[in-house]
Structure 1
Amino acid sequence: MLLLISCAKTMKDTSKYEVSQATVPLFIQEAREIALQMSQFSVQDLEVMLKVNSKIAVENYKRYQSFHSTDTTELPALLAYTGIVFKRLNPTDFTMGDFLYAQKHLRITSFCYGMLRPLDAIRLYRLEGDVRLPGYHEGTLFSYWQSKLTDLFISDIKASGGVLFYLASDEMRGLFDWKKVLREIKVVTPEFHVHKNGKLSTIVVYTKMARGEMTRFIIKNRIDSLETLKSFTWEGFRYDENLSNDEHFVYTVEG
């Protein structure tokens, strides 16, 4: 079973936790070229392209200006991202065995690096999938990555047993030829809903937290079967057999 989670918009380049080894991203050359293209834009350009305020635009302008410097620090992807999913995944207490298991069974999407393994050393950046790089690629970064990632992703999943447990956000499907993915492998997507006033609702922050907790649960317990995932519980969320099917594992909690 292979797990897929989304990258986060927030990152750091230092960590108290040190891993004994790091790997080179599979698409390092593509990432360097994309970063080079992004370094050509002004702060004002980045503010519009990344849909951010001026402070964040300045921060990322500096990141892209120094991206190719030999002095720029790198951090394994699992430690570099600091969004809600990664905070709940909490890799700072992982053993090296945990990291190595994650390296084999976990993938992280990235608009700059394409697809990352947990130990892949990366540099600070911020990017959106709908960004277009004039003169570099006709479409968005979503379409740019599809031809590069799809077959590799499918092969990766098949090598891990032929099942993808999809813990990423919905938009990340756009990085792949998703119809081809669905034709060739089994995809199971967990959903997290709150029962409130007789209705089911989705609270984004809970979903992100639960994705991180579930990823941690799988890695720490070396879970490799879908049936075992039905036992996952967190903050009252439990597997709901009546709402679930082979493609969607639904976990609910009373609101």
Structure 2
Amino acid sequence: MLVLLPPSETKATGGDGAPLDLASLSHPELTATRRAIAEELSALAEDVPRSLEVLGLSERQAEEVRRNGELWSSPTAPALERYTGVLYDALDIGSLSEIERKQADARLAVASALFGLARGTDAIPAYRLSGGGSLPGLGTLRSTWRPVLEPLLADADELIVDLRSGAYAALARTPGAVQVRVLSEDASGERKVVSHHNKSHKGKLARALARSSEEPASVEDVLEVAAGAGLRAEREGERALCVVTSA
């Protein structure tokens, strides 16, 4: 099973790993694209005002540009420890047992604008780059990633559970994946797509899938794992399900 997680704009700082070594990352077929994006991003950081404009940042976020300028020299940390925020708080990777952490590293991957896919143990630095953006020398990240990332995911011979947000889902389409959305249900039974509980519930589902002693291989398995974790999940179609939360 492969669970695709959205990244987060916020990243944990520091780390105790050696500087970025693209050759050490999983999925070596992505190395050339990773290098092109990393080199473009770090070169762009030499011009702070231009970087802020391209990345859609304010002057108060100039520190994010500095991080990009240090991509090749700053310390690294495992991907599942680098990303922070609501989803990753719910995933709570640090509280997993040793066995569960190994399962998480094997089953979870972060959809990254810089790395394409970052597996749990991939050692990566802090950076700032959004999936819906573009870089001057490369164009849109969607057009950069799709030709290499879509074939990789299409060749996967395992169940894919797609928890990515829109901009990152656009980097590589996964028509055969199990699509998950979060719905809010009010007292009258009316449901609507929400953002407030979205990340938290996806993080809880990812945690449950990582902890499962049996590796899910079907939509029914995913529903069973979700129910066991106290999540209210329902099938919406052949390859789709929803997690329902109270309004």
Alignment deviations for residues 60-88 of structure 1 (CA, whole Å, 9 cap, x no partner): 2211222222xx21000000000211111
Tell me if the contact between 1:32 and 1:68 (Cα under 8 Å) persists in the aligned partners: no
Deviation at 1:10, TM superposition (A): 0.6
Letter in 2 for 1:254: S
In the alignment, structure 1 residue 195 sits paired with structure 2 residue 185: yes
What's 1:35 paired with? 38
Which whole-Å deviations, capped at 9, do the CAs of 1:213-235 have from their partners, x for residues lacking one?
A: 00000111234143233242599
How many pairs are equivalent?
A: 232
Kept in 1, the 8 Å contact 2:163–2:202? The answer is yes
Which AA in structure 1 matches 2:232? R
Aligned counterparts, 1:163-242, within 5 A:
163-176=159-172, 178=173, 181-182=174-175, 186-196=176-186, 198=188, 199-222=190-213, 223-225=215-217, 226-231=219-224, 232-233=226-227, 237-240=231-234
Q: Which residue type is aligned with residue 217 of structure 1? A: A
Counterpart residue identity of residue 215, structure 1: A
Which of residues 54, 58, 62 in structure 1 aligns to 2:59? 54
Q: How large is the Cα RMSD of the aligned pairs?
A: 2.4
2-side partners of 1:29 and 1:245: how far apart? 37
Distance 2:50 2:216 in 1: 45
What is the one-letter code of the residue matched to 1:188?
V
Q: Distance in 1 between matches of 2:128 and 2:75?
A: 16
Deviation at 1:116, TM superposition (A): 1.1
Contact 2:92–2:207 at 8 Å: present in 1 too? Answer: yes
Q: CA deviation at 1:14?
A: 4.0
**Change in 2 beyond 3 A, CA 1:51/1:88:** same
Q: 1:239 and 1:65, CA in 2 relative to 1: closer, same or farther beyond 3 A?
A: closer
Aligned to 2:147: 147
TM-score (norm 2): 0.83
The answer on whether the counterparts of 1:98 and 1:220 sit within 8 Å (CA) in structure 2 is yes
TM-score scaled by length of structure 1: 0.81
Cα gap change, 1:75/1:28 in structure 2, threshold over 3 Å: closer, same or farther?
farther
One-letter identity of the residue aligned with 1:205: H
Q: Which residue identity does 1:166 align to in structure 2?
A: D
1:68-125 C-alpha deviation (Å, 9 max, x unpaired): 22xx210000000002111110111223322322233222111111111110000111
Decide whether the 8 Å contact of 2:15 with 2:76 is kept in 1: no
CA contact (8 A) 2:185 2:246 kept: yes
* Structure 1 Cα separation of the partners of residues 143 and 66 of structure 2: 27
Are 1:236 and 1:253, in contact at CA under 8 Å, matched by a contact in 2?
no
Residue in 1 that maps onto 2:244: 252
Residue 71 of structure 2 is matched in structure 1 by 67
What is the CA-CA distance between 1:207 and the residue it aligns to? 0.9
Q: What are structure 2's unaligned runs of at least 5 residues?
A: 17-23
User: 1: distance between equivalents of 2:12 and 2:32?
Assistant: 22
Q: Is the 8 A contact 1:76 1:119 kept in 2?
A: yes
Q: Cα 1:201–1:152, aligned 2, differ >3 Å: closer, same or farther?
A: same
Residue 25 of structure 2 aligns with an amino acid whose one-letter code is V
Native 8 Å contact 2:68 2:128 kept in 1: no
Deviation at 1:154, TM superposition (A): 2.0
Unaligned stretches of 5+ in structure 1? 17-22
Given that 1:89 and 1:215 are in contact with CA atoms closer than 8 Å, whether structure 2 keeps it comes out as: yes
